[in-house]
Chain A
């Protein structure tokens, strides 16, 4: 089998369907490893990975850190909140300083779209995008598609509705690219203020009616309202949003069919999804988190195998 067609993971847009399949196949093996008594393999003993998080994160940072450690790589963590960034250091300076401490791979989350891609042009290390503003979040999309594949057997031909704040969501964009490359149909659903103009050009269906979207889909991926990115008022109130676009058990039961419920986290319980649904039988939210470690191990492993000795 060949190597990945890319030398960094900045976005799903650059990947081929074969790349994604290779990542999934590798992740299958790692999922097996992380369920063993000793959840660790020695493959990346000689690799050092820096996790650079210029934006808040719990799941993704922990997931990347665990993934690296379970491959036996050394990990250094950096969060912007208590760093020299506050003293005025530029991104490239910060990263180059870290690289001079012999780091082979950088995982970066940054509020600016294109930050990861920018780094690939200026530093000699491997770069993995862990979320760049409202642009892409490739490993989340990979683990979402992987979770659908695990639950439904395949992604091809499935109908996936992405529901909520599409405008501010990097998860939505990466998911659209990923699902389409794997042959799924995608619909986005939300208030018209939170759906980007011309998004149909990506080949997705658009709906402003939650019931309609749920009737259409096999899988519903519920997104969080990203209040921290909303500069103006996009809907009257959270209560109003929850009434129109919140998923509750009653609505789910009224569909007359079983759909899979996903959420990339963090959940705002009672807004986009009620606790009953989030913790219910149809939800695979915690499976997504488990699969996240396996997917990130696969991505790190495949990229690290390209590093020359």
Chain B
């Protein structure tokens, strides 16, 4: 499979910094805003955003992790059961502005499940979506992001991989393309 780097380490960092500033533009000091990362990969985005926001604002926004396993719409359509990750929301989201965070927005089904899962914790005033990579034109559901790191045009069978320094050894985003003769 051919692969192409969409974001290298430097662009990766710039993109996250820009996303932080976009967030500050709308949520200023995060006094009424919480960040919630979708398990398993969205939590890395949240962690980075939190660290960067602290550098800029000197305060840390309230952050949580949300597991959506039991809310998925593909239960029993897979070979094996999906074993859940940890949900960690030890604060109230009632009347808060919630920013759902994930690494890649693709079909929109994960976000749909995420919204269902989120609403079992209470009724936020507003929910927004932040993604590092938006795979445009591949949506199954009418879901769009409010904050986008980078939009890419991909074919359905292609694969976008986000690597993180802390788990994969380096920060980068790659697009795996199907060979033309395959």
A79 within 8 A of B: no
Whole-angstrom distance between the Cβ of A305 and the nearest chain B Cβ: 4
Name the one of A2, A71, A301 contacting B80, with C-beta atoms under 8 angstroms: A2
CB distance from B142 to the nearest CB of A (A): 20
Q: Mark B93-123, 1 if CB is under 8 A from A, else 0.
A: 0000000000000000000000010011110
**A42 interface residue per 8 A CB criterion:** yes
Contacts of A26 in B (CB 8 A): 83-84
- Select which of B76, B80, B81, B119 is within 8 A of A309 by beta carbon: B76
> B75 to chain A: which residues have CB within 8 Å?
43-44, 305
A302 contacts chain B at the CB level, 8 A cutoff = yes
- Tell me whether A305 and B70 are in contact in the complex, defined as CB-CB below 8 angstroms, given that A22-B83, A38-B120 are known contacts: no
Complex Cα distance, B37 from A125, in Å, reads 38
Partner of A37, one of B81, B86, B120: B120
**Is A243's beta carbon under 8 Å from chain B?**
no
Chain A residues with Cβ under 8 A from B76's Cβ? 46, 304-305, 307-309
Q: Which of B72, B75, B121 has most chain A Cβ within 10 Å?
A: B75
B71 at interface by CB-CB < 8 Å:
yes
Q: Are A42 and B80 in contact (CB under 8 A)?
A: no
Judged by DSSP, the binding face of A is loop
> Is the pair B83, A25 in contact by a Cβ cutoff of 8 Å?
yes
Query: Which residues of the other chain, A, contact B71 by a CB distance below 8 angstroms?
Result: 41-43
For A43, what are the chain B residues with a Cβ–Cβ distance below 8 Å?
A: 70-72, 75
- A77 cross-chain contacts in B, Cβ below 8 A: none
User: A48 to nearest B CB, angstroms?
Assistant: 14
- CB neighbours of A33 from chain B (8 A): 70
Does B87 belong to the interface (CB within 8 Å)? yes
| CA gap between A308 and B76 in the complex, in Å | 7
Q: A36-B121, A41-B71, A305-B75 are in contact. Are A29 and B87 (CB under 8 A)?
A: yes
Is A32 at the interface (CB under 8 A from chain B)?
Answer: yes
CB of A3 closer than 8 Å to a CB of B:
yes
Task: Assess whether A309 is in contact with B121, with CB atoms less than 8 Å apart.
Answer: no
A304 to chain B, nearest CB (A): 7
Residues of B within 8 A of A211 (CB): none
Cα distance, A42 to B119, chains bound together (Å): 13
Do the beta carbons of B70 and A42 come within 8 Å of each other? yes
Name the residue of chain B whose CB is nearest to the CB of A36: B120
Q: Does B171 contact A (CB under 8 A)?
A: no
Most buried by A among B69, B84, B119: B84
Verify if B77 is at the interface (C-beta below 8 Å from A): yes
Q: Say if the beta carbon of B67 comes within 8 Å of chain A.
A: yes
- Minimum CB–CB distance from A264 to chain B (whole Å) comes to 28
A40 within 8 A of B: yes
Q: Chain B residue with minimal CB distance to A304?
A: B76
Q: Is the CB of B120 within 8 A of A40?
A: yes
* Complex Cα spacing A120 to B181, Å: 50
State the CA gap A37–B116 with chains docked (Å): 13
Across the interface, name the chain A residue whose C-beta is closest to B113: A42
Determine whether A1 belongs to the interface, using a CB cutoff of 8 Å to chain B: yes
Report the separation of the CA atoms of residues A42 and B117 in the bound assembly, to the nearest whole angstrom. 9
| B70 CB contacts on chain A under 8 angstroms | 29, 33, 41-43, 71, 301
Q: How far is the CA of A22 from the CA of B82 in the complex (A)?
A: 11
For A32, the chain B residues whose CB sits under 8 A away are: 86-87
Q: Which residue of A lies closest to B87 (CB)?
A: A32
For the complex, give the distance between the alpha carbons of A307 and B75 in Å: 10
Q: Is the CB of A1 within 8 A of B83?
A: yes
Interface residues of A in 24-57 (CB under 8 A from B): 25-26, 29, 32-33, 36-38, 40-44, 46
Docked complex Cα distance between A99 and B113 (Å): 31
Minimum CB–CB distance for A280 against chain B, Å: 30
B68 to chain A, nearest CB (A): 10
Chain B nearest CB, measured from A170 CB (Å): 27
* B binding-site residues for A, Cβ under 8 Å: 67, 69-72, 75-77, 80-81, 83-84, 86-87, 116, 119-122
Further pairs besides A3-B80, A22-B83: 16, Cβ < 8 Å: A1-B80, A26-B84, A29-B69, A29-B70, A32-B87, A37-B120, A37-B121, A38-B120, A38-B121, A41-B71, A42-B71, A43-B75, A304-B76, A307-B76, A308-B76, A309-B77
Could you pull out 21 A-B pairs where Cβ atoms are within 8 angstroms? A1-B81, A1-B83, A2-B80, A3-B80, A3-B81, A29-B70, A29-B86, A32-B87, A33-B70, A36-B120, A38-B119, A41-B70, A41-B120, A42-B70, A43-B71, A43-B75, A44-B75, A46-B76, A304-B76, A307-B76, A309-B77
